[in-house]
Amino acid sequence: MLLQVSLCQAAAPEWLIATDQPAVVAGNTFEIIVAGTGGEPLPDEIEVRLRTEIEQRVLVLRALRPAENGRRSYAGELPASMSGNVQVDLVGRDSSVLQLAVARPGQGPPGTGRHAPGEYEPPLSENDPMYFIVGEHDGWTARFQLSFKYRLFDLGTGFGREQPWLTGFYFGYTQNSIWDLSSQSKPFRDTSYRPQLFWKWDRSDEKTFIDSVRFGLEHESNGGDAANSRSINTVFIRPEWHHGFANRHEIQFMPKFYSYLDREENPDIAQFRGYADWQLRYDAAGEWVATLLGRYGTSGKGSLQVDLSKRLRDLRFGPVGGYFHVQYFTGYGESILDYNVRRPSQLRIGFAIVP
């Protein structure tokens, strides 16, 4: 049994709380184990305080069974409105503080580093996958990607508290590089820089047919010289549909539709990239993650990328974070410089921080 305990005080507290289910779903029953170090009898009911960055609740938990060896188990129902990182401590007692990862109803507990629609996110969080992979086909190459997003207004203060709709505005940034490892000087073949400004909406009920949607502007360029310069500006919309299963598996469909605002340096890019990125993702409770990304141009030419990630701690690497990552790419435009070039298909393996 794995017990998660978090001590947030300098001196040893008089009451210790722990759990064997640190990842739970809002609206469901959760259990904690309470141990007293001062010899005081453990009551039949106990009050706990639940805290997130934006709200606080007091909840009464009832004992499940008699005390045994100075410990007693209690249970209660998590409020359906609470999600994200939730701190739990005992009301009116000198206790340790327990950290729970709480997912919204209908979504599995967090496992991949991504946040479920409607779940509280910190101001700086992941955006697209982040990985470093290496492969060989007509020479060794590496491909790596870094990506993040920053919420411009926080719900708890300032304009975000006064106008909650402003908290949906994000600045996003993704950088993808292809590194030629076989050449003498080992240059970067191409790097794509993709800043974004978008507004993100998440559903807050169980009736809306769509789980989330993003709408915004994106610039993509490679910063090359006149002959190798490539850049486009697009306006995009990305709806998301998530379907969860009882075993915490989830399938996600996240197409991204866009229209070109500026493509002077590559006016025919729609022939190879089209007007949509078709993305389908299967998340097996954070243990396995598989993603398909397809593009289909107006000329019938396109590309397909397949990513498969396996959590490293399940491969007997010990307490190692991240994922073993495999990627296969075939078709046109692995980078924006080669948007109209079909290079040999590539299979690469490596490491992912966010799959």
pLDDT tens-digit readout, 115-165: 666 566 778 889 999 999 999 988 899 999 999 999 999 876 788 778 889
- Is 116 within the bounds of a domain? no
Specify the pLDDT at position 220: 96
Alpha-carbon distance of 158 to 152, in angstroms, equals 11
Task: Say yes or no to pLDDT of 39 above 80.
Answer: no
Domain end residue (candidates: 69, 103, 137): 103
Task: Say if residue 38 is in the same domain as residue 133.
Answer: no
Task: Say yes or no to pLDDT of 275 above 90.
Answer: yes
**Per-residue pLDDT tens for 314-342?**
665 555 568 999 999 999 999 999 999 99
Specify the pLDDT at position 79: 85
At 26, is the pLDDT very low, low, confident or very high (cuts 50, 70, 90)? confident
Distances (CA, A) of 41 to 15, 32, 208: 11, 17, 48
3-state SS, 32-93, equals: EEEEECCCCCCCCEEEEEEECCCCEEEEEEEECCCCECCEEEEEEECCCCCCEEEEEEECCC
- Is 9 within the bounds of a domain? no
Task: Say yes or no to pLDDT of 48 above 90.
Answer: yes
Average pLDDT on 205-233 reads 89
- Is 141 within the bounds of a domain? yes
Specify the pLDDT at position 298: 97
Average pLDDT on 277-286 reads 94
Task: Say if residue 96 is in the same domain as residue 133.
Answer: no
From the CB of residue 114, how many other CB atoms can be counted at a distance below 10 Å? 19
Task: Say if residue 293 is in the same domain as residue 186.
Answer: yes
If one counts the domains in the chain, the total is 2
Task: Say if residue 188 is in the same domain as residue 284.
Answer: yes
Specify the pLDDT at position 161: 76
Specify the pLDDT at position 117: 62
Task: Say if residue 142 is in the same domain as residue 97.
Answer: no
Specify the pLDDT at position 311: 87
At 265, is the pLDDT very low, low, confident or very high (cuts 50, 70, 90)? confident
Q: Which domain holds residue 272?
A: 124-354
Higher-confidence residue: 24 or 348?
348
Higher-confidence residue: 244 or 53?
244
Question: Quick one: how many helices (H) and strands (E) in the chain?
Answer: 2, 22
Task: Say if residue 192 is in the same domain as residue 328.
Answer: yes
- Is 20 within the bounds of a domain? yes
Higher-confidence residue: 193 or 119?
193
Predicted TM-score (pTM) of the model is 0.70
Higher-confidence residue: 303 or 119?
303
DSSP-derived 3-state class of residue 301: coil
Tokens read off for 166? 């402003």
At 186, is the pLDDT very low, low, confident or very high (cuts 50, 70, 90)? confident
Task: Say if residue 84 is in the same domain as residue 132.
Answer: no
Domain end residue (candidates: 103, 136, 152): 103
CATH number for position 25: 2.60.40.10
- Is 183 within the bounds of a domain? yes
Task: Say yes or no to pLDDT of 46 above 80.
Answer: yes
Task: Say if residue 59 is in the same domain as residue 131.
Answer: no
Average pLDDT on 220-225 reads 89
Task: Say if residue 35 is in the same domain as residue 98.
Answer: yes
Task: Say if residue 274 is in the same domain as residue 220.
Answer: yes
Strand partners, 256: 277
Task: Say if residue 200 is in the same domain as residue 322.
Answer: yes
Domain end residue (candidates: 103, 133, 160): 103
Give the DSSP H/E element, type plus range, for residue 281: strand 276-284
- Is 113 within the bounds of a domain? no
State what percent of residues in the chain have pLDDT above 90.
57
- Is 58 within the bounds of a domain? yes
At 1, is the pLDDT very low, low, confident or very high (cuts 50, 70, 90)? very low
- Is 270 within the bounds of a domain? yes
Specify the pLDDT at position 7: 44
Question: For the chain, what is the mean pLDDT?
Answer: 87
Task: Say if residue 27 is in the same domain as residue 167.
Answer: no
CATH number for position 253: 2.40.230.10
**Per-residue pLDDT tens for 61-112?**
999 999 988 899 999 988 877 877 889 999 988 889 998 888 766 544 444 5
Specify the pLDDT at position 110: 46
Higher-confidence residue: 274 or 262?
274
